[in-house]
């Protein structure tokens, strides 16, 4: 056991990005650029083949330069969309929208090179631009919604321990800080001789034991309480204020339920518990120290038992 009085000074491990795009999926999206590039080449070829040329000086105007920059910017964004991991709907909206918008931008550039009839300006410039901007806007809105959902999920994951789904150290500190002014009961629990379980049966069985202990805490912890895995074989429950008898009864019930677990026929697990109440204006660290001493006392007196925190 290594529950530390300095728990409140320990920063949780950072969340690592595990959602990077598979290379195969990114590769499958590059053909979109080939299709759009073919459409643009066909558009440029038709302009040059069928329409009369304008004086070259038009290419040197400020307006022509701005139109070229817009086309290059849209092309860059389109390439970036193909090289990023995006939800299918977002990718489709952005790709088609930017592609249509780029068709319109290309027609704008060609308008500085050849003499376009009015119908080309209307149907090759304006219509694709409006449709492309609309679809790209839908893609952007869908991306904003997706990003918001991902941020909420990341916030949730940052407060949960991966194996058991219980609150982690970060969540534990939040809950204790929220309840400090109202008072709370704290139970610190440590599985007895858990290293021997991993050494004899392997870590897969050890993980199963931890998950089943977490299920016990979720099932038996009273309403209004929250359970945590603080690390290794260390667990905690933060509950609303209880009487000494209620707190001891809860701790003993948790001990009996864990002792009744049989992950394997030849494997039994026990747990020692230290429990205590917060006092008015008592810093969380002081309660942690008192309950931690009680937990050590329970282990020193033979394990698989409960000890209440004193002064």
Bigger pLDDT: 63 vs 57: 63
Beta carbons within 10 angstroms of residue 186's beta carbon: 25
Q: How far apart are CA 173 and CA 153, in angstroms?
A: 20
Task: Render pLDDT for 61-114 as a digit per residue (tens, 0 to 9).
Answer: 777 889 999 999 999 999 999 888 888 899 999 999 999 999 999 998 888 888
- pLDDT value of position 152: 84
pLDDT class of 307 with cuts at 50, 70, 90: very high
- pLDDT value of position 158: 80
pLDDT class of 25 with cuts at 50, 70, 90: low
Task: Render pLDDT for 231-241 as a digit per residue (tens, 0 to 9).
Answer: 899 999 999 99
Task: Render pLDDT for 149-198 as a digit per residue (tens, 0 to 9).
Answer: 888 888 877 888 889 999 999 999 999 999 988 899 999 999 999 999 99
- pLDDT value of position 263: 85
Backbone angles phi, psi at 47, to 5 degrees: -60, -50
pLDDT class of 13 with cuts at 50, 70, 90: very low
Which of 10-14, 130-134, 206-210 is predicted least confidently? 10-14
Which parts of the chain are beta strand (E)?
Answer: 185-191, 226-231, 234-239, 271-277, 306-308
| Cβ 292 vs Cβ 3: under 8 Å | yes
Average pLDDT of the chain to the nearest whole number: 86
List residues with catalytic annotation: 233
Looking at residue 279, what DSSP letter applies? -
Q: Look at residue 5 and tell me whether its pLDDT is greater than 90.
A: no
Burial category of 257 from C-beta neighbours within 10 Å (exposed 0-12, middle 13-18, buried 19 and up): middle
pTM score, two decimals?
0.62
For residue 71, the number of C-alpha atoms closer than 13 Å in the C-beta half-sphere is: 17
Burial category of 7 from C-beta neighbours within 10 Å (exposed 0-12, middle 13-18, buried 19 and up): buried
- pLDDT value of position 275: 96
Q: How far apart are CA 290 and CA 34, in angstroms?
A: 68
Task: Render pLDDT for 261-283 as a digit per residue (tens, 0 to 9).
Answer: 988 888 989 999 999 999 888 89
| Cβ 172 vs Cβ 187: under 8 Å | no
């Amino acid at each position: 056991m290594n529950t530390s009085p300095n728990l409140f000074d320990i920063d949780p491990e950072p969340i690592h990005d595990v959602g990077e795009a598979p290379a195969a999926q990114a590769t499958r999206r590059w053909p979109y650029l080939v299709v759009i590039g073919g459409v643009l080449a066909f558009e440029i070829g038709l302009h040059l083949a069928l329409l009369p040329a304008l004086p070259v000086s038009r290419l040197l105007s400020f307006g022509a330069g701005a139109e070229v920059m817009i086309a290059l910017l849209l092309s860059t964004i389109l390439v970036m969309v193909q090289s990023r991991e995006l939800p299918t709907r977002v990718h489709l909206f952005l790709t088609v929208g930017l592609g249509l918008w780029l068709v319109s931008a290309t027609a704008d550039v060609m308008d500085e090179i050849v003499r376009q009839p009015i119908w080309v300006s209307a149907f090759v410039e304006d219509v694709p631009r409006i449709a492309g901007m609309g679809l790209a806007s839908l893609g952007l809105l869908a991306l904003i919604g997706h990003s918001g959902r991902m941020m909420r999920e990341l916030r949730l994951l940052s407060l949960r321990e991966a194996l058991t789904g219980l609150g982690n150290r970060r969540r534990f500190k939040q809950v204790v800080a929220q309840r400090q002014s109202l008072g709370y009961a704290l139970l610190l629990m440590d599985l007895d001789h858990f290293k021997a379980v991993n050494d004899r049966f392997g870590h897969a069985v050890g993980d199963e034991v931890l998950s089943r202990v977490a299920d016990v805490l979720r099932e038996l912890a009273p309403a209004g309480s929250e359970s945590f895995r603080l690390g290794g074989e260390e667990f905690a429950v933060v509950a609303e204020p209880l009487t000494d008898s209620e707190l001891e009864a809860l701790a003993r019930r948790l001990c009996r339920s864990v002792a009744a677990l049989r992950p394997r026929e030849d494997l039994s697990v026990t747990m020692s518990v230290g429990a205590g109440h917060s006092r008015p204006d008592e810093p969380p660290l002081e309660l942690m120290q008192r309950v931690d001493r009680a937990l050590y006392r329970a282990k020193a007196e033979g394990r698989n038992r409960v000890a209440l925190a004193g002064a």
